[in-house]
Amino acid sequence: MAQARTQPRESAAPRPGEVEAPWPCWIDVDLDAIEANVRAVRTWVGPRVRLFAVVKAHAYGLGAEMVARTVLAAGADGLAVARVHEGVRLRRHGVRAPILLLTAFAPAEVTALVRHQLTPTVTLPEQVPRLAAAARAAGMRLPVHVKVDTGLHRYGAARDEALAVALAVTRTADLWLEGFYTHFATADALDLSFAREQLAAFRAACAELARRGVRPPVLHAANSAGTLALPEAHGDLVRVGLAVYGYRATPAVPMPFPLRPAVTLWARVARLLDLPAGCTVGYGRAYRTTRPMRAALLTIGYADGLPGSHYRGGYVLLHGQRADLIGRISMDQCVVDITHCPQTRVGDRAVVLGQQGDDEIGLDEFAELSGSIPHEALTSLGARVPRVYWQGGQLVATAALGGEERLDGAG
């Protein structure tokens, strides 16, 4: 599926991919695109619906702290993470907005969760007294959300258990039942009938809570796919992950407004090779040339996020033209056929994911070649690959997720 392309900058300042990058491969992260996507979702859901940007797993591999700053400045009301340490890290970087913890937490993490004012998702009765004791010790009333499982069968409590947990929270002075929610299993499918069944089950659970005198102020169900495909599911809050970064989960998800892809993965040409017919390339001699070929060695491999499966049908863009991958992909390098691209020189930049010229390798296509999904493809980009942040036509920061994130000004 074709993704909306980032609008060209009018400034004469360097654009992503045009600077003299000092790395073998790198990821340009377009913060302007992320900001535009948040604002577009904000307009789509309307002013009465809160928007929480999902920044778990290093913001889908793009760097949570920089992304968090950007989405909050663009109008997101809060953030969502999957691990306690992800929320703690954001707090230590100065984030003061609400942070919802979407998944399970260990008893040993309760003190840190409360100290850093994360909002936990509660699904088990035994979590209630533990959280209450920690909140009491901290001298605060802790907001919590309860999650009801309506068919995903993942983290979440069955209906009757969720109702019981929600009621237990309301009877606990040190806790506040801020939210009640569920999560769709098939909102990214062409057939939305099961998603609508889930929504009906969720509404029935909310109605039962109300019948018992409990009305949490925040009821929510929609992830990115649900936000785009099921406006009736917007509720009081939407939890938007993939769409923030400019992508949709499957081609079945409608596009009621354009999304701007935020990621370009680059590598450089390290060597040019003249290969005779009958020559083998790469480990296992899995590829054999059938004609004389001009090839280029690129400084990117499976440790950087280019899956080994891409050597069957994968390609990169060089000078705006497709260059097929040949031979097995190594940990740090790969080889492409540039016979049709004689202008290629050592040092040239190749696009492995993203747009170059009039062509584009979309995230959906990249993921399909990997036998995976867009979410997995993004989060699998190598931690050692520098993330290079662009905003307003300027290179503003770099980060290396393989170690501690660096947020130095890059100019």
**DSSP per position, 244-275:** GGT--SSTTS--SS-----EEEEEEEEEEEEE
Closest CA to 378 of 205, 239, 233, 242: 242
Tokens of 276: 């005779």
Q: Catalytic residues, which ones?
A: 56, 283
Q: What is the pTM of this model?
A: 0.92
Using the predicted structure, report yes or no on whether residue 273 has a pLDDT greater than 60.
yes
**The amino acid at 377:** A
β strands within 48-113, DSSP E: 50-54, 78-81, 99-101
- pLDDT tens digits, 42-87: 999 999 999 999 999 999 999 999 999 999 999 999 999 999 999 9
The confidence score (pLDDT) of residue 401 equals 83
On the question of pLDDT at 14 being above 90, the answer is no
- Domains, the chain, ordered by start: 31-245 (3.20.20.10), 263-385 (2.40.37.10)
Rounded Cα gap, residues 329 and 338, in angstroms: 16
pLDDT exceeds 50 at position 408: no
For 356-404, how does the pLDDT look when each residue is reduced to its tens digit (9 = 90+)? Answer: 999 999 999 999 999 999 999 999 999 999 999 999 989 999 988 865 4
> Which tens digits make up the pLDDT trace of 102-132?
999 999 999 999 999 999 999 999 999 999 9
Query: What average pLDDT does the structure give for the chain?
Result: 93
Confidence band, pLDDT 50/70/90 cuts, at residue 4: very low
